[in-house]
A and B are shown apart, each in its own frame.
Chain A
Amino acid sequence: MSTYEQKKKNKPYGMLVLTGIISIGMYVGLLANQDLFNVNFAKGGLYAFLPIITAFAFSFIHGSFTGNFWTVLGVEAARKKKEVH
């Protein structure tokens, strides 16, 4: 089997669906409970860590989803990586 065919077969469909569902769930949760988030996240002080933790959580899940999204679509880095010194 050629590398090209192998790459096609090994696309992360499962991870795409899983991270996609979690990501959509997180966005629905955020937008459906706007008032709750607005009040608690704007309290300042130690509550400042809430938006920071949320941002990390979204970057982890949604970042993984978007990475898988482009991979499944076949948009990947050039096979010959640029030589950078």
Chain B
Amino acid sequence: MHDIAQAASNFINLDSATLIYLFLVGFVGGLVSGFIGSGGAFVLTPGMMSMGVPALVAVASNMCHKFPKALVGALKRAKYGQVDVKLGLVLGASAEAGVLYGAHIQEQIKKAFGDAGSNLYVSVSFVVVLAVVGIFVLRDAWKTYRSGNAHAEEKASKLALWVQSINIPGTMVYFKSINAKVSILFTIPLGFATGMLAATIAVGGFVGVPSMIYVLGAPSLMASATELVIAFVMGLGGSLKYAMHGLVDIRLAMVILGGSLFGIQLGAIGTTYVKPFMIKVVMGLIMVIVLFSRALMVPVYMSQLGMIAQISADTTKLLKGVSFGIMIFALALGAFIVLRAMWQGRKAERLQYAKDIMAEAVAE
């Protein structure tokens, strides 16, 4: 960890352009998080680093905006009956352990292979996890859309039904989102994996939400809302850990929070207007696009480690720029889909309301 005095001196000067940029990215990140339960961090952390914020301060400050944001989002979605607090806390506890272990692995890799090795590990994790989970989620959403059953109630997967059928005495806990008892011996590894991913690529929800849907059998809306509880638990623990080393830049965290609280409220409201499979559409699309962004950076880090031929500085700069641009595009596309779906939902609701009024008037 950084020396405290050095960390404080590493806090950058904030000008108005930086403030506006952080506020806007926070808003878009919050909008997506309110809808799918996570997201935004994959743009915010590299975004802060590109402004000269040291990597650890960027991670710490992102985490310190994440837990209050997740709290507000979870409370909002709890009002709509979408949050399973018990499941969130159970998964959150094991996720916290996953975060600590993930951070430990990161430190070991950094010690052994330096920054390039650490970056390569993060990028490869991004690519592998997002390729497997992202394509699966997107495929499932596409199948639902094609089947014409988008309005139908979601059914638990075969795997989830099997998990729910296993009875291990002394470990069974009832979860309202699943409407069944599940052994915590299944939830512990899922939470742990979510935490490890959060410590590695900053977005644990890319594993947390799909695992709640496909492994435990929770509906998409509840899974994405419950992820906010997990994010709160992980974010609070992580922030405290980083703050103990003086690494949180509270100004960065609170400015991002300023935008993201506008966004998360809107994203949460958006979930009441859309069909549940839209959660999968937005999450799957973001995952697959981000996957390309990170894949572009793999050769850069491999070249820095001497695993492949040297890549010129100009090409490296170009790849970095394109990679970051794709990430911003992924987030913006997610936000666009959320806003569009919400707009259409509101329009349909207003139309229905007008029809009801007309019908009432005619009846009278």
* A-to-B contact residues, CB < 8 Å: 4, 27, 30-31, 34, 37-39, 41-45, 47-52, 54-56, 58-59, 62-63, 65-67, 69-70, 75-82, 84-85
Contacts and interface: CB of A to CB of B under 8 A. Distances in A.
Q: Chain B's interface: helix, strand, loop or mixed, by majority?
A: helix
A77 B353 CA distance: 14
19 contacts: A4-B353, A27-B254, A30-B250, A30-B254, A44-B245, A51-B250, A51-B253, A54-B250, A55-B67, A55-B253, A58-B258, A66-B265, A67-B76, A69-B262, A70-B266, A77-B269, A82-B82, A82-B276, A84-B80
Interface of B: 4, 7-8, 11, 14, 19, 64-65, 67-69, 71-72, 75-76, 79-82, 153, 179, 219, 221-222, 236, 239-240, 243-251, 253-255, 257-258, 261-262, 265-266, 269, 271-273, 276, 345-346, 349, 353
B243 A85 contact: no
A34 B265 contact: no
Contact of B261 (A39, A62, A80): A62
A34 B246 CA distance: 15
Given A45-B244, A84-B82, A85-B219, A78 B345 contact: yes
A77 B8 contact: no
B7 A54 contact: no
A84 B225 CA distance: 12
A42 B247 contact: yes
Contact of A30 (B4, B251, B262): B251
Given A70-B269, A82-B272, A44 B349 contact: no
Contacts of A66: 72, 261-262, 265
Contact of A31 (B14, B244, B247): B14
A51 B222 contact: no
Contacts of A31: 14, 19, 251
